């Protein structure tokens, strides 16, 4: 199976242009962050990018409208990383309808526990938008089994920086844990958090079905010339295809 390249970008005034760059570089699924005033799951780089996007006037409606308008020109699948307050404020029914119209493949809701995700699924059994689960490396075996049994789209395993060894390689315990999740899963199991370089990618996809890269890509779109960013993205795709 082709290893999945899942880059993250912030939903700002340039995000459609950035999505096209990512698609051209071989992104399989693009994660678009919805700017939010209290982003509990975001690190400093992404938090700063979110604040800038808010100052630009970007909100969930702007993102959904832009995706709807450009849907036919986007070749990669795309998911939204958002927070439950945004969905509640929009209204669940209206939000799922708008996401479907915009071609959204799935939602990642990091502040919604598994039990509440299941309740959300139960309230919307006919939705076409996947609810993507997150699994932390500290999650109990019993809870992992519950999450995996109900997984949609793909499973996002959060590696945490603490699991990288002194030589920059991911800890063997982490790899074994990802392998154990894969044995139970019926959807791809990808890894993210702290993955920045082609070497990181090569190492983690020895076990994972793909890699999520966030802060590094956000930084490069913000500071680098376009060709530098494209060269970096191509190096990640090459590492995934080895």
Q: Which domains does the chain have, with CATH numbers?
A: 4-240 (3.20.20.70)
Backbone dihedral region for residue 103 (phi beyond 0: left; psi -120 to 50: alpha; all else: beta) = left
HEC letters along 181-221: HHHHCCCCEEEECCCCCHHHHHHHCCCCCEEEECHHHHHHH
Indicate if 199 belongs to the active site: no
Answer yes or no: is pLDDT of 198 > 60.
Answer: yes
Indicate if 141 belongs to the active site: no
Backbone dihedral region for residue 65 (phi beyond 0: left; psi -120 to 50: alpha; all else: beta) = alpha
Q: Which residues contact 239 (CB under 8 A, 6 or more apart)?
A: 198, 199, 201, 202, 205
- CA angle (40, 43, 49) in 5-degree steps: 100
pLDDT of amino acid 235 = 98
Residue 163's pLDDT band (boundaries 50, 70, 90)?
A: very low
- Please tell me whether the overall predicted TM-score, pTM, comes out greater than 0.85 for this model: yes
Selecting among 24, 28, 31, 100, the annotated active-site residue is 31
pLDDT digits (tens, 9 = 90+) for 4-62: 999 999 999 999 999 999 999 999 999 999 998 877 667 789 999 999 999 999 999 99
Selecting among 28, 42, 152, 209, the annotated active-site residue is 42
Lowest mean pLDDT among 6-10, 121-125, 173-177, 232-236: 173-177
Answer yes or no: is pLDDT of 190 > 60.
Answer: yes
The dihedrals phi and psi of 241, each to the nearest 5 degrees, come to -90, 0
Mean pLDDT of 189-197: 93
Q: Is 103 in contact with 68 (CB distance < 8 Å)? A: yes
């Amino acid at each position: 199976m082709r290893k999945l390249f899942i880059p993250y970008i912030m939903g700002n005034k340039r995000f459609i242009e950035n999505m096209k760059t990512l698609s051209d570089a071989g992104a399989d699924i693009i994660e678009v962050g919805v700017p939010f005033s209290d982003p509990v799951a975001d690190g400093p780089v992404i938090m700063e990018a979110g604040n800038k996007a808010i100052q630009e006037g970007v909100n969930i409606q702007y993102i959904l409208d832009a995706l709807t308008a450009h849907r036919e020109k986007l070749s990669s699948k795309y998911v939204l990383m958002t927070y439950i307050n945004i969905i509640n404020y929009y209204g669940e029914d209206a939000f799922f309808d708008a996401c479907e119209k915009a071609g959204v493949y799935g939602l990642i809701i990091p502040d919604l526990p598994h039990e509440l995700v299941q309740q959300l699924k139960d309230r919307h059994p006919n939705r076409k938008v996947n609810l993507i689960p997150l699994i932390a490396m500290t999650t109990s075996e019993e809870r992992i089994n519950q999450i995996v049994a109900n997984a949609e789209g793909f499973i996002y395993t959060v590696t945490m920086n603490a699991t990288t060894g002194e030589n920059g390689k991911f800890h063997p315990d982490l790899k074994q844990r990802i392998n154990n999740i894969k044995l139970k899963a019926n959807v791809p199991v990808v890894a993210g958090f702290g993955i920045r370089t082609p070497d990181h990618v090569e190492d983690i996809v020895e076990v994972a079905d793909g890699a999520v890269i966030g802060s590094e890509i956000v930084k490069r779109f913000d500071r680098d010339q376009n060709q530098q960013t494209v060269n970096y993205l191509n190096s990640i795709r090459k590492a995934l295809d080895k």
